[in-house]
Amino acid sequence: MTDATTTATTTTASTTTTTAGGGPGRGTGMAQRQALRKRRDRVRRWAWGIPMWILALVFLLPFAWMISTSLKPDLEAFRIPMQWIPHQPRWENYTEVLFGESSILIPFGNSVFVAALRVLGELTTATLAGYAFAKLRFPGRGKVFIAYLATSLIPAQLLLVPRFVYFEKLGLYDTLWALILPGMFTVLGTFLMRQYFVSQPDEFAEAARLDGANELQIFFRIYLPNALSMISALAILTFVWSWNDYETPLVFLSTPENYTLPMGLTSFTDENGAMAAGLSMAASVISIVPILLVFLIFQRRFVRAMTESALK
């Protein structure tokens, strides 16, 4: 189809050129064809667009189900046929989840605390180290960097047992610090920042050194302000990892008061110990809101963060 259109366009263009000034009839013919082509393009846009939209809606259907169920009493969740819009939306599910017996607010607060400290720590240590690997010369730099490269291949899962043992001995087991501390010093964050600083020119530093600036001043006043977009990308990534992390708290936390949000979601059960559908879904909706906000507000930067960390 596309091929045909292009050929047609080319022919039209060349005919017009060769017969330029050939009379008004020619000109209107071209205008007509152009209008036709425009309409065809518009039709084609929608012909692709509508099925893709339907597909997207199907893809997002589980979230619609989640929201619908979050507004139903537990028993209604499985009624056949499924009722997408509850007759009487049960907002009490949300008040129960927020302020009830096993309030989601405590895990929510824990998650915010963990994420905030992880982001702060990660940004500090990763920018400093990334900058040094990129812009400062010191003996042993190459060797340390190779050690970092090797480390990046090791799955965190392999380190769970020794970390568990050490945290237990140090009194960090079942505290939020067991999640925060390892998350503050990551190899991947350092790589991302190094990659960014490598792309920056050396001349800034050389000029500043001539003017008598010391290394901290050069870093903070010259390179850091330029790196803000990369730093915010790393902040977003760290926040997402931290907010969604379920496996680390599963291993390192045991008291419900210390749970972070993903763990807290599992604590809504009915009398029989089965999952309480309405409450669990209401809590799930609440857990998604912050991450969705971050995504929608910073969408462009968010996507950049994802692709950037992928392609480097």
Partner 1 sequence: MAIVDTRIETADGPAAAAGGRLRRPTGRAPSEPKAYVGWLFIAPNLLGVLAFTFVPLISVVLLSFTRWNLVSGFGGIEFVGLDNFLAVFQDPTFWRSLVTTIVYAGVAVPLTLVVGLALALALNRDIPARGLLRAAFFVPYIVNIVAIGMTWQMLLDPEAGLVNQVLGVFGAENLPQWFASSNWALPALILVTIWSQAGYANLIYLSALQDAPTQLYEAARIDGAGRWASFRTITWPSLLPTTVFLLVTLFVGISQTFGMIALITNGGPGDSTTTLSFYMYQTSFQFYRFGYASAVGLVTFIGIFAIMLLMWRAQRGRALHD
239-298 residues near partner 1, rule: CB under 8 A: 240, 243-244, 246-247, 250-251, 261-263, 265-266, 275, 277, 280-281, 284-285, 287-288, 291-292, 295-296
Question: For residue 144, what is the enclosing H or E element?
Answer: helix 141-151
Our finding on whether 143 is near partner 1 (CB under 8 A) is: no
At residue 269, φ and ψ (nearest 5 deg) are -125, 160
Interface with partner 1 by CB under 8 A: which range of 30-38, 112-120, 151-159, 224-232? 151-159
Encode burial over 77-98: b for 16+ CB neighbours within 10 A, e otherwise. Answer: beeeeeeeebeeebeebbebbe
Q: From the CA atom positions of the chain, what is the Rg in Å? A: 29
Find the shortest distance in angstroms from Cβ 179 to partner 1.
11
Does the footprint of partner 1 cover residue 159 (CB under 8 A)? yes
Single out the residue of 13, 36, 82, 146 in contact with partner 1 (rule: CB under 8 A). 82
At residue 126, what is the residue type? A
Residues 9-38 that bind partner 1 (CB under 8 A): none
Q: From the centroid of its chain, how far is CA 75? A: 34
Interface positions, 43-72, toward partner 1 (CB under 8 A): 45-46, 48-49, 52-53, 56, 59-60, 62-63, 65-66, 69
Give the separation between CA 238 and CA 243, rounded to whole angstroms. 8
List the interface residues with partner 1, window 203-242 (CB under 8 A): 203, 206-207, 209-210, 212, 214-216, 219, 240
- Binding to partner 1 in span 98-137, by CB under 8 A: 124-126, 128-129, 131-133, 136-137
Q: How far is the CB of 207 from partner 1 (least distance, A)?
A: 8
Contacts of 263 (CB under 8 A, 6+ apart): 107, 246, 249, 250, 253
Residue count of the chain: 312
Among 141, 146, 226, 293, the residue binding partner 1 under the rule CB under 8 A is 141
If one asks whether residue 165 binds partner 1 (CB under 8 A), the answer comes out as: yes
Residue 178, H or E segment: helix 177-184
